[in-house]
Amino acid sequence: MPTFHDPLADAAEASEALRGLAHASRVFDDPADTYQVFGELISGVRSLRQVLDQLASTHLNARDRAFDDDGNPAAGATSALAAADELHQADTLLDQAYDRLDAAFSHSGRIAWHPESVVDRDFQRERLAARLGGDPAITTVNAETLALTVWPDAPVGEHQRYAYRITDTTTDQTVEGRDLFTGAGTPVDPDHALRDLSTYLSAAGETRQYALDHPGTRPEHEGLFPTWVAEAACTNTDTLTELAEHGPARPGEGAASQRWINVVFLQGDEADRVLDTIDRDGTDAAIEHLKSWDYGDETTDAALENGYVYDGQPPAGAMERTATADMYALTYNHTLGHVGLYRQLDAPPDPALLEDPRVPANTRTRPSPRAQQMPPAYEGREARRVALGADRDWYATPSGNSAGSERGLSL
């Protein structure tokens, strides 16, 4: 509660309230509620304008008490005047922000929001099941003392939304939310949602630990979850980090979890042609086409030599789409214009793929292991671009045809 007399305490509470509002306003169940929030924000901006003006006045009126670290009163007074001037400049900009906010408030007041259509949850579940080829069951994993549960919720635009529940199994405390979103166009994947939720919890745990190690500080992500969640995440950091990086373990996984190798990664014109195939004939046709880049043991050796081996699942960014067929996994991104094909490490390709009937046997060649195409490397959620040269045109079809003899791709 505001004190109305202690500027330090009230400033801290205002900061906390704004952080809470930033978190709570990510989702509005009723868009009509935005009108009331507008009104409160306008009042807040008006008060903030007054605070800035009073801060400037204090610097001006008390400048005779200002010194620098060496005790120089002239330097101290100069800094006080400069601070007051910057605060007055901020006042001017805040006046402009107030005018814009007031205009938006007026436009919003002209909207008559209609009630949201009643959602037939059974129908929605059936439609989601049809998209997934099965029942979209609730997914739950344990991270030591925390039980994490996610399930697909109604999409918001191009973003798939997930609901989640976090339970402390030692105290039975529970918190739920519906503000977990994937990247635009990302298919329904509860495991991906669990990794994202684990990432946020790891950040909350690290923030809590930092606050404990540095009393009096206010870390950036403080307040992301209730305090009891942050404390539980702090004690389960290693498990949450493992879950965030590798996703939930499935029955039979662990030491013998599946490993994948990169077969080929294309971008530019070659990728565009494959993306056109996906749009026209589907992902199975694209996988069938890209399988012709798989040279069996030589592809495997090249991947092992260059480190293009991935545990659990092939690498995929936030905007990647994925598809699987037999031993292969396809990743593709229409926005960035690239495609990649991966094969299970312990699953050799069909021997028929190693012999191309279009090329005479005595003229067939195999790519050098060092010509292995570099797959995308991911740092956080964004693709890292890395250049790679090759001894041969690894981007030509198995017949050796290519649009250019010295062409190479870069990420």
The pLDDT, as a whole number, for residue 374 is 45
> What is the average per-residue pLDDT within 55-68?
93
**141 C-beta neighbours (distance < 10 Å), count:** 19
The C-alpha atoms of residue 51 and residue 196 are separated, in whole angstroms, by 39
Assigned token pair, 363? 């003229």
pTM of the entire structure? Answer: 0.37
User: In the predicted model, is pLDDT for residue 380 greater than 60?
Assistant: no
For the chain, the three-class secondary structure string (H helix, E strand, C coil) is CCCCCCHHHHHHHHHHHHHHHHHHCCCCCCCCHHHHHHHHHHHHHHHHHHHHHHHHHHHHHCHHHCCCCCCCHHHHHHHHHHHHHHHHHHHHHHHHHHHHHHHHHHHHHCCCCCCCCCCCHHHHHHHHHHHHCCCCCCEEEEECCEEEEEEECCCECCECEEEEEEEECCCCCEEEEEEEECCCCCCCCHHHHHHHHHHHHHHHHHHHHHHHHCCCCCCCCCCCCCHHHHHHHHHCHHHHHHHHHHCCCCCCCCCCCCEEEEEEEEECHHHHHHHHHHHHHCHHHHHHHHHHHCCCHHHHHHHHHHCCEEECCCCCCCCCEEEEECCEEEEEECCCCEEEEEEECCCCCCHHHHCCCCCCHHHCCCCCHHHCCCCCEEECCEEECCECCCCCCCCCCCCCCCCCCCCCCEC
Query: What is the pLDDT of the chain when averaged over all its residues?
Result: 76
User: In the predicted model, is pLDDT for residue 25 greater than 60?
Assistant: yes
| Most confident stretch, 74-83, 130-139, 161-170 | 74-83
User: In the predicted model, is pLDDT for residue 52 greater than 90?
Assistant: yes
Nearest to 150 by CA among 164, 132, 161, 137: 164
The pLDDT, as a whole number, for residue 153 is 79
161 versus 263: the higher-pLDDT residue is 263
Any idea where the domains of the chain sit in the sequence? 31-109, 126-246, 259-384
The pLDDT, as a whole number, for residue 234 is 87
In whole angstroms, how far apart are CA 50 and each of 41, 42, 45, 79, 104?
Answer: 14, 13, 9, 21, 22
User: In the predicted model, is pLDDT for residue 46 greater than 80?
Assistant: yes
> What is the average per-residue pLDDT within 208-218?
82
Single-letter code of the amino acid located at 21: L
Cα–Cα–Cα angle for 370, 376, 381, nearest 5°?
155
The C-alpha atoms of residue 136 and residue 144 are separated, in whole angstroms, by 25
> What is the average per-residue pLDDT within 104-114?
87
The pLDDT, as a whole number, for residue 406 is 38
The pLDDT, as a whole number, for residue 76 is 93
Token pair 């090759």 in the structure block, residue:
390
The pLDDT, as a whole number, for residue 260 is 87
User: In the predicted model, is pLDDT for residue 320 greater than 80?
Assistant: no
pLDDT tier at 396 (50, 70, 90 boundaries)? very low
